[in-house]
Amino acid sequence: MIRQEPTTSRAPEGTAPLFEVRDLTVAFVGESGPVPAVRGLSYALSRGEVLGIVGESGSGKSASALAVMGLLPSSATVSGSVRLRGEELLGLSDRRLARIRGSRIAMVFQDPLSALTPVHRIGDQVAEAVRIHQGVSAAAAHDRAVELLDAVGIPNAAQRARAYPHEFSGGMRQRVMIAMAIANDPDVLIADEPTTALDVTVQAQVLALLETARRMTGAATVVITHDLAVVAGIADRIVVMYAGKAVESGPVVPVYADPRMPYTIGLLGSVPRLDRPGRPLTPIEGAPPDLARLPQGCPFVSRCPVNVPVCRTIEPALEPVARSDRRAACHRRGEIAFGRIGGAPVFPLPEIASAREESPRDGRPAVLEVRQLVKRHPITTGVVLRRRIGTITAVDGISFDIREGEALGLVGESGCGKTTTVMQLLELAAPEEGRVSMLGRDIASLSRDGRKHLRREVQVVFQDPFASLDPRLPVGDIIAEPLRAFGVSLDRRHGRVRDLLDLVGLSAEHANRYPADLSGGQRQRIGIARALALEPRLLVLDEPVSALDVSIQAGVLNLLEHLKVHLGLAYLFVGHDLSVVRHVADRVAVMYAGRLVEVGDADEVFGHPTHPYTQALLSAVPIPEPGTERQRTRILLDGDLPDPADLPSGCRFRSRCPLFARLPPERRRRCSDVDPPLEPRSTGDHQSACHWARDNPILPAGAGRSRTGRSDTD
């Protein structure tokens, strides 16, 4: 599985690598001189090899890919060497590069929506890629396009080729992008964050497809991503980038098992893992340096817990690690082994405040009770006389409750209705159908005043810390806003702002700054501080960390855990990242097409999922450990969520259900005739909605929720 190849950039005589990048540097024009984006990146790839480039935002990973493709704006200065089969690509004219781009080097972009032209048919766009480089007739190119679309798994390709991009889902568009990329049998395939915008089940499909594409074309593949787990699954070798430089490189297995650069150690320690739920996360303190003003010495020094004086003066080069075939850029790489230095972990495990006495769940009062909640959107036509031509049922009779001090994770793919549910709850408006009660009060019976009072108890933290803070308000005013709305006096407001900033780990001076001055992690802390201002009992967290980098995310997750324990908060945690939900939630509700398909204790649901959808979701989540990751079998789901205006009869999941496909016909009939209700399973209050549910542990063994946590040594 792992090729034992020389990983030094200098290949032995005679076997020149297929694709070689050496000392690549990219600098953009800044206000005060050039801003380096990539500072000397080298790697080499042979045929069929997969290289994963991992880094956080601003690490220069995408800039390096664009530089290789010659796609950077002319204002950027690129130097170094990029060789394809010995031919130098840097400095070629745009016309000559255009002949190579798309035919010998192909790229798959992050955003499949903007990478396709909206006004041309899918088939024509793929055919164009074929015609430009192969000079065949239009008809032949079209036939080849259909063939390619079929190869990337687009059902009914001949017909779908006539569709426009907007008629395709995100996953389907990414398939089209891959079809275009492999149209000319490229030597090198560069995928820049190919799955970042996609749901986890679709991500699994696309990753599998990338693997197929690599096998079909034999192309050397570069996968650029921020997701360590994705790299663990598909790459042979990995390059970790930080502040424009490779800080660690080598074959995937040893790098994950025994990283030598503290940044890699920190990154691996800050990823929440589905298979180790109880393990505390180790956030990396601070934020990446400003590339325009890089400090002297190692760029990681200010965030590094084991720095020594030499780190501040001399920047370490990427040098070989003794007795291994990999490299790390750290002065202390020789002392670090298995995440430890001199016997102590490089990133000490933070103490998780677990001093909460676990009173039985039934004894605690319910903060939120939802019973058979329904939310419909009418589809109307006409401008003057609106006629109702149909209804979309976004949420169709869901029930759950949240007890005091408990975190419920609401999980589902985009379009399943989880955001609609949350908005319906936050509006505090009477539901169309069903009943919602908060803190024992029925929302439908509330007066205007009562509703306003209830607002104090339910607050929200949004997903995007850049959109959820008013850019024109200073932080102090943002945090004080809820207090102001409830008539708290100015003096007390200011005192409270200071307390809240302290509580979320910021300093009081931040009150006089604007959101634009702060990093993503700090902004999200401000969002949390605002939500806590009124001392609510229930906090709705709508994907609170999905817009943050991994190392920052860990700090915010730890903060949420801390607040939950210390303030006795209840959380409704909405998320699509199951690893994060696993880390935070005590209970989990899995949502599919407007229904809950499985509800229960987090350990139960994740450890013994009984609904085929939950099983598929869990199997699709990659785990950042190459050994485990490659041995797992994926349950790949076909297609996308069903059209909410035209749901299948009976069980909604049956159109994609792997279990349904294997059932004998007489059993299938029950699935297509009878809508399965939530029914209790084995133990406790674990429920799932499947006629033929059975326990199928998906995750590797050792997934028990142990609070002690295992160190990174295994």
Partner 1 sequence: MSLPTDPFLAADHRLVPSAGGRTGAPEDVVVLGRRRLVLARLRRNRAAMAALVVLVLLVVAAVLGPVTYRWITGWGYIGQDRTALLQPPSAEHWFGTTLIGVDVFAQTLRGLQKSLLIGFLAAVISTGLAAVVGAFAGYLGGWVDRGLMWLVDLLLVIPAFLVVAVLGRGLGEAGWPVLTLLIALFAWMITARIVRGTTLSLREREFVLAARFSGVSVPGIVFRHLIPNMSSLLIIDATITVATAIIAESGLSYFGFGVRPPDVSLGSMIAVGTPSAFTSPWLFMFAGGLLVLTTLAVSVLGDGLRDALDPGSTRRAGR
Q: Which of residues 247-266 bind partner 1 (CB under 8 A)?
A: none
Say if strands 50-54 and 220-225 run parallel, antiparallel, or are unpaired.
parallel
Q: Which stretch binds partner 1 (CB under 8 A): 135-143, 179-187, 466-474, 615-623?
A: 466-474
As measured in angstroms, the least distance from the Cβ of 500 to partner 1 is 11
Q: Does 709 bind partner 1 (CB under 8 A)?
A: no
As measured in angstroms, the least distance from the Cβ of 237 to partner 1 is 31
Of the pair 354, 372, the CB lying nearest partner 1 is at 354
- Separation of alpha carbons 689 and 599, rounded Å: 9
As measured in angstroms, the least distance from the Cβ of 509 to partner 1 is 5
As measured in angstroms, the least distance from the Cβ of 190 to partner 1 is 31
Strands ordered across the beta sheet of 340-341: 336-337, 340-341, 344-345
Q: Does 545 bind partner 1 (CB under 8 A)?
A: no
Of the pair 190, 539, the CB lying nearest partner 1 is at 539
Q: In whole angstroms, what separates CA 506 from the centre of its chain? A: 26
Instruction: Give the ranges where 363-467 is alpha helix by DSSP (H).
Output: 418-427, 448-455
Of the pair 517, 643, the CB lying nearest partner 1 is at 517
Give burial (CB, 10 Å; 0-12/13-18/19+) of 435.
middle
As measured in angstroms, the least distance from the Cβ of 369 to partner 1 is 19
Q: Give the DSSP letter of residue 109.
A: -
Per-residue tokens: 308? 């020594």
Of the pair 380, 649, the CB lying nearest partner 1 is at 380
CA atoms within a 13 Å half-sphere pointing along the CA-CB vector of 14: 0
Q: Does 552 bind partner 1 (CB under 8 A)?
A: yes
Reduced to 3 states, what is the DSSP secondary structure of residue 556? helix
Q: Does 511 bind partner 1 (CB under 8 A)?
A: yes
Q: Does 34 bind partner 1 (CB under 8 A)?
A: no
Q: Of 201, 437, 463, 688, which one interacts with partner 1 (CB under 8 A)?
A: 463
As measured in angstroms, the least distance from the Cβ of 566 to partner 1 is 9
- Separation of alpha carbons 124 and 146, rounded Å: 10
Q: Of 512, 683, 711, 713, which one interacts with partner 1 (CB under 8 A)?
A: 512
Of the pair 55, 283, the CB lying nearest partner 1 is at 283
Reduced to 3 states, what is the DSSP secondary structure of residue 549? coil
Identity at 258, one-letter amino acid code:
D
Q: Of 555, 594, 612, 626, which one interacts with partner 1 (CB under 8 A)?
A: 555
List binders of partner 1 among 635-674 (CB under 8 A).
none
Q: Does 278 bind partner 1 (CB under 8 A)?
A: no
List binders of partner 1 among 46-65 (CB under 8 A).
none
- Separation of alpha carbons 60 and 54, rounded Å: 10
Q: Of 477, 488, 658, 663, which one interacts with partner 1 (CB under 8 A)?
A: 477
Of the pair 159, 313, the CB lying nearest partner 1 is at 313
Q: Does 31 bind partner 1 (CB under 8 A)?
A: yes
List binders of partner 1 among 285-344 (CB under 8 A).
285-287, 289, 302, 305, 307
As measured in angstroms, the least distance from the Cβ of 543 to partner 1 is 11
As measured in angstroms, the least distance from the Cβ of 284 to partner 1 is 8
Q: Does 40 bind partner 1 (CB under 8 A)?
A: no
- Separation of alpha carbons 243 and 314, rounded Å: 15
Per-residue tokens: 366? 């319910």
As measured in angstroms, the least distance from the Cβ of 511 to partner 1 is 4
Per the CB < 8 A criterion, the answer to whether 89 and 100 are in contact is yes
- Separation of alpha carbons 607 and 277, rounded Å: 11
Q: Which stretch binds partner 1 (CB under 8 A): 35-43, 479-487, 607-615, 645-653?
A: 479-487
* C-alpha dihedral, 132 to 134 to 139 to 143, nearest 10°: -110
Strands ordered across the beta sheet of 595-601: 458-461, 538-542, 570-575, 407-411, 587-592, 595-601, 687-688, 679-680
Q: Of 8, 9, 519, 546, which one interacts with partner 1 (CB under 8 A)?
A: 519
Site string for partner 1, 350-379 (x = CB under 8 A): xx----------------------------
Site string for partner 1, 488-507 (x = CB under 8 A): -----xx--xx--xx-xxxx
Per-residue tokens: 397? 């009779």
Q: Does 538 bind partner 1 (CB under 8 A)?
A: no
Q: Does 533 bind partner 1 (CB under 8 A)?
A: yes
Q: Which stretch binds partner 1 (CB under 8 A): 434-442, 550-558, 642-650, 683-691?
A: 550-558
Output Rg (C-alpha) for the chain, integer angstroms. Answer: 27
Q: Which stretch binds partner 1 (CB under 8 A): 149-157, 282-290, 358-366, 432-440?
A: 282-290
Of the pair 112, 316, the CB lying nearest partner 1 is at 316
Reduced to 3 states, what is the DSSP secondary structure of residue 136? coil
As measured in angstroms, the least distance from the Cβ of 550 to partner 1 is 14
Give burial (CB, 10 Å; 0-12/13-18/19+) of 448.
exposed
List binders of partner 1 among 560-579 (CB under 8 A).
562
Q: Which residue has the tokens 């987090």?
A: 602
Cβ neighbour number for residue 490 with a 10 Å cutoff: 10
Of the pair 506, 550, the CB lying nearest partner 1 is at 506
Q: At what angle do helices 520-532 and 490-503 cross, to 10 degrees?
A: 130
> DSSP 3-state helix, strand, coil percentages of the chain (rounded to 5)?
35, 20, 45
Per the CB < 8 A criterion, the answer to whether 348 and 338 are in contact is no
CA-based nearest residue to 112, from 127, 124, 131, 125:
125
Identity at 346, one-letter amino acid code:
V
Q: Does 518 bind partner 1 (CB under 8 A)?
A: yes
Site string for partner 1, 417-456 (x = CB under 8 A): ---------x-------------------------x--xx
Of the pair 372, 489, the CB lying nearest partner 1 is at 489
Q: Which stretch binds partner 1 (CB under 8 A): 41-49, 279-287, 335-343, 706-714?
A: 279-287
Per the CB < 8 A criterion, the answer to whether 2 and 251 are in contact is yes
Say if strands 33-45 and 19-30 run parallel, antiparallel, or are unpaired.
antiparallel
As measured in angstroms, the least distance from the Cβ of 21 to partner 1 is 31
As measured in angstroms, the least distance from the Cβ of 214 to partner 1 is 38
Phi, psi of 522 (to 5 degrees): -65, -40
Identity at 422, one-letter amino acid code:
V
Of the pair 330, 621, the CB lying nearest partner 1 is at 330
Q: Which stretch binds partner 1 (CB under 8 A): 171-179, 371-379, 465-473, 646-654?
A: 465-473
Phi, psi of 550 (to 5 degrees): -55, -45
List binders of partner 1 among 121-180 (CB under 8 A).
none
- Separation of alpha carbons 536 and 567, rounded Å: 9
Q: Of 481, 546, 655, 694, which one interacts with partner 1 (CB under 8 A)?
A: 481
Q: Of 155, 309, 342, 471, which one interacts with partner 1 (CB under 8 A)?
A: 471
Of the pair 195, 524, the CB lying nearest partner 1 is at 524
Of the pair 208, 426, the CB lying nearest partner 1 is at 426
As measured in angstroms, the least distance from the Cβ of 350 to partner 1 is 3
Reduced to 3 states, what is the DSSP secondary structure of residue 447? coil
Q: Output the DSSP codes for 38-92.
A: EEEEEEEE-TT-EEEEE--TTSSHHHHHHHHHT-S-TTSEEEEEEEETTEE-TT-
Question: Could you tell me how many residues of this chain bind partner 1 (CB under 8 A)?
Answer: 74
Of the pair 25, 524, the CB lying nearest partner 1 is at 524
- Separation of alpha carbons 681 and 679, rounded Å: 6
Identity at 248, one-letter amino acid code:
E
